[in-house]
Amino acid sequence: MITKKALLIGTVFASTLVGGTGESLFNPSIGFTGDIVTDISDVNGQWREATSEGIAVRSGELILGAAIDPYAELTANVNFTLDGVELHELYSHFHSLPANLSLKAGWKLAQVGRWNQFHAHAMPFTADPRLLIEYQGGHFSTLGTELSWLAPTPFFLELTAGVSEGWRAHTHDSDPSAFDSDLDQRAAELGLTKHGSHWHGSNGEIVDAEEIQDPEEPITTVKNKPIGSFPLLGRAKSSVQFGENWSADLGVSGIWRKDHRFSNRVEGKTYSKAVVGSDLTLFWHPLTANKYRNLDLGAEWLGTYEENELLFGETVLQENRFRHGVFGHVHYRHNQRLHFGTYGELFQANESDLWLKKRVGLFTTVELTHYQYLRLEGSSYRESPNIDPVHRLTLQYDMSIGFHSHGTQR
Amino acid sequence: MKQLLILMLITIAGAKPLNVVTSIPDIADMVRMIGGNRVVVTSLATGKEDLHAVPARPNFLPILNKADLLITLGLDAEHAWLPALAKSARNPKITEGQAGWISLEKGITVLNKPTTIARTEGEQHPEGNPHFNVGPQAGHQMAHNIANALTRADPAGKSVYSAGCDKLCEQICAMETILAKKGAVLKGKKIVAYHEDLAYLCAYYGMIQVGTIEVKPGVPPTASHLKKIEEVARIQKADLIIHNQSQSAKIPKKLSVSTSAPVVKIANAVGAFEGVNSWIELQKFNLNQLLKAVK
Ligand SMILES: [Zn+2]
């Protein structure tokens, strides 16, 4: 643990030395972003810290960007946490191909949805939308390639198509319910109360671990890779301007994987999964004396279609499930220092057709300087009708130096 | 009729204008003056924004996509928003460092050149003060740099660009005569600037900048810094407190109360205010604003 911390500090120091003014002066450009979070949440009415350390270095991103030649550049994003080091992104961007095309190849956050492509520190709020985690597993990453076409229209229209090596997603955000194991979570969802190594049902009966576990997993995701297991993804993105001060970004996206699950009972039978989404974000950015005052509000709708296997007696049945939900946010920047905002989401649970998961939050951000901010966020998350909502209070400190690989995000 | 139509088509095809995109309207105005019918020009910024922080809108991309030339002030003034946009526009001609990306600082005597490049110096003026468009003395050089860039991109239009440049320079000379006469009273006036965008204007009129409200370019003032500036302004007997269109008047007004120096709002780009539609109008507008305050 100590060596990892030392490594982190060493990296910060190193990038301070070289992190001048960015790309035009240094090649490769180097940047570093530290994202530190401490939080408490009340699970079962008891307030506790989400991590045993108390403070979580959620991510320390070392970002390297370099032009390979005038037409391509390489971006690497290495993420340091106290648990280890992982390569987050490593891709080439051929930004100026003929016919208005550009190509990204390598490992990167996929161009789907609105919030998917945001790094932890770049979002106006601290916690990842739970909807994203529920339906995609977090921020969907591709180890693959994406081709984007800028339409030769007078307004902005970009179409992207891509293929990924697998269904890869991650989140920097710890789950506020912070269950110790999948079993604990499943038990909580079934409305059971934990007592040592066993649980009690609503009538006081003892429930053992074996009863909670799924007795026979009918399907598997581990198979050698047929061509259908490569997820395909696509996105169309546009933007509309209303006068000088208002504009709106809108997009539709989808991820589809034909062979997402493999039947253990029916030879050759596979089940697909798709995530579809649409997003609309409205920006008010007045070009007046209060250049920092601005507002954005948006909604992202995500739906997931999943095929699954069911056993009815001896009969193997296919079940098709469609679930969906929406995440909305308002983010107001009052001046150079202060931001305020709120978010809310409502979505159907993966666990049961009857459940609606709900989360609301409030946040305020103080920009200490242009390169550092402090954010306080409070949220309430009701995961299931059988579990009390989890309240979470988060304090986030972020600092960044040098080059940013996602400067044009808005 | 058919022949006439064919003739018209040939004329249109032969004179396909050079598509020029500029970062700010100051440059667009000069390009229009110099290039006439041989160019179509679009400015990305309206002039109301802070030059360093123009909101990067996706709708800039289709404009940049079709550009033959992208003309910027340079000295990294537009660094925070323009290079990344240019890279996303699928137009390799105009990405930073390529032949179609033009910076106008060539031949300009750059003021406030930093001796060290470090984060502690702020990051908006890493290569010196880029606001030379605010100074009347930069006009001729900017015009020549633009004419040269247009000629390189469209050699057949050389005579047009050269004539356009001459005509613009004549107008600049006429403007300078007026500014020199009317602006003589500004010599020796002590000013406090909000942002470091007045160095060229001060140099031209002989004004002396005694302090800056921002700690560094783009770094907002702290309470202790403001206290220091207030003291400096009082001791030095500052005559004017000057801010531009993109800054709130709140702090300048507060300083004005404690120092009794009037607040002046200037335009640091064409388009900042109604009636400031050309670079020459910008110079006249700023002079008038200053004169109104010193009277
Ligand atoms: Zn500046």
- Residue contacts between A and B (CB atoms, under 8 Å): 109
A residues 66-105 closer than 8 Å to B (CB): 70-71, 73, 95-97, 100-102
User: How far, in Å, from the CA of B50 to the mean position of ligand 1?
Assistant: 8
Based on the number of CB atoms within 10 Å of its own CB, is A16 exposed (0-12), middle (13-18) or buried (19 or more)?
middle
Identity at B43, one-letter amino acid code:
S
Read off the amino acid at residue B266: I
Q: Which residues contact B207 (CB under 8 A, 6 or more apart)?
A: B186, B187, B188, B189, B190, B191, B198, B201, B240
The residue type found at A124 is: P
Q: Which residues of B touch A25 (CB under 8 A)?
A: 117, 126
Give the span between the Cα atoms of A300 and A277, in whole angstroms.
7
Q: pLDDT tens digits for A349-385?
A: 887 777 899 999 999 999 987 789 999 999 999 887 7
Per-residue confidence (pLDDT) for residue B120, from 0 to 100: 53
The pLDDT value given to residue A80: 84
By a Cβ cutoff of 8 Å, what residues of chain B touch chain A? 46, 48-50, 53, 55-59, 61-62, 65-66, 76, 79-81, 83-85, 87-92, 95-98, 117-119, 123, 126, 218-220, 245-249
> CA A345, CA A119: separation in Å to the nearest integer?
20
pLDDT band at A54 (very low <50, low <70, confident <90, very high): low
**Are residue B266 and residue B192 in the same domain, yes or no?**
yes
- pLDDT tens readout for residues B69-113: 999 999 989 988 899 899 999 999 999 889 999 999 999 999 988
- Nearest-angstrom CA–CA distance, A319 and A328: 30
Cis before B252? omega within 30 = no
- Tell me: do B13 and B144 sit in the same domain: yes
The total of other beta-carbon atoms located within 10 Å of residue A66's CB is 16
- Which of B154, B175, B196 is the C-terminal boundary of a domain? B175
Give the residue from chain A lying closest to B47, CA to CA.
Answer: A287
Residue in A closest to B56 by C-alpha:
A408
A243 touches chain B (CB under 8 A): no
Within 8 A of A96 by CB-CB distance, chain B residues are 87, 90-92, 95
Residues B104 and B137 both lie in one domain: yes
Closest CA to A402 of A141, A7, A59, A33: A33
Contact residues for A201 (Cβ-Cβ < 8 A; gap 6+): A191, A192, A207
Residues of B within 8 A of A16 (CB-CB) are 119
- With a cut of 70, which residues of chain B have pLDDT below it? 1-15, 116-123
Nearest to A119 by CA among A87, A85, A77, A83: A77
Question: Residue B279 is part of which domain span?
Answer: 183-294
Are residues B90 and A102, on separate chains, in Cβ contact within 8 Å? yes
pTM listed for this prediction = 0.84
A176 — pLDDT class (breaks 50, 70, 90): low
Using a CB-CB distance cutoff of 8 angstroms, which residues of chain B are in contact with residue A23? 83
Residue B160 and residue B212 share a domain = no
| Residues on chain A touching B48 (C-beta within 8 angstroms) | 244, 287-288
- With a CB-CB cutoff of 8 Å, which residues 182-201 of chain A face chain B? none
Q: What are phi and psi of B203, to 5 degrees?
A: -60, -40
* Inter-chain CB proximity B87 and A23 less than 8 Å: no
Distance CA(A27)–CA(A70), nearest Å, equals 13
Which of B140, B175, B210 is at the close of a domain? B175
Task: Tell me which residue of B177, B271, B168, B188 sits closest to B236, measured CA to CA.
Answer: B188
pLDDT band of A5, cuts 50, 70, 90: very low
Task: Using alpha carbons, select from B78, B81, B42, B32 the residue that is nearest to residue B62.
Answer: B42
Q: Which of B48, B61, B98 sits opposite A287 (nearest CB)?
A: B48
Calculate how far, in angstroms, residue B69's C-alpha sits from the geometric centre of ligand 1. 23
Residue B279 shares a structural domain with residue B159 = no
Of B84, B85, B245, Cβ closest to residue A289 = B245
CB contact under 8 A, B65 and A152: yes
B95, B211: one domain: no
* Nearest-angstrom CA–CA distance, B1 and A401: 66
Q: How many domains does chain B fold into?
A: 2
Q: Are A332 and A290 in contact (CB under 8 A)?
A: no
| A218 vs A7, residue with greater confidence | A218
Same domain membership, residue B244 and residue B222: yes
Q: Do B123 and A70 touch (CB under 8 A)?
A: no
How far off is chain B from A142, nearest CA to CA, in Å? 20
**Quick check: A52 contacting B, CB < 8 Å?**
no
Residues B10 and B56 in one domain: yes
A4-402 topology per CATH: Porin (2.40.160)
> At B4, phi and psi to the nearest 5?
-60, -45
Q: Do both B98 and B171 map to the same domain? A: yes
Across the interface, of B55, B119, B219, the residue whose CB is closest to A285 is: B55
CATH code for the domain of B82: 3.40.50.1980
pLDDT in tens, A219-248: 666 667 788 999 999 999 999 999 888 999
Distance B195 CA to ligand 1 centre (A): 6
Nearest CA in chain A to B60: A156
B36 and B171 belong to one structural domain: yes
Query: Does B79 contact A25 at a Cβ distance shorter than 8 Å?
Result: no
Do residue B163 and residue B191 come from a single domain?
A: no
Amino acid at B179: L
pLDDT level of residue A21 (50, 70, 90 thresholds):
very low
For A179-217, write each residue's pLDDT tens digit. 556 677 677 667 677 777 777 777 778 887 767 765 455
Distance, CA of A106 to CA of B182 (rounded, Å):
62
Q: Report the C-alpha gap between A397 and A87 in whole angstroms.
A: 22
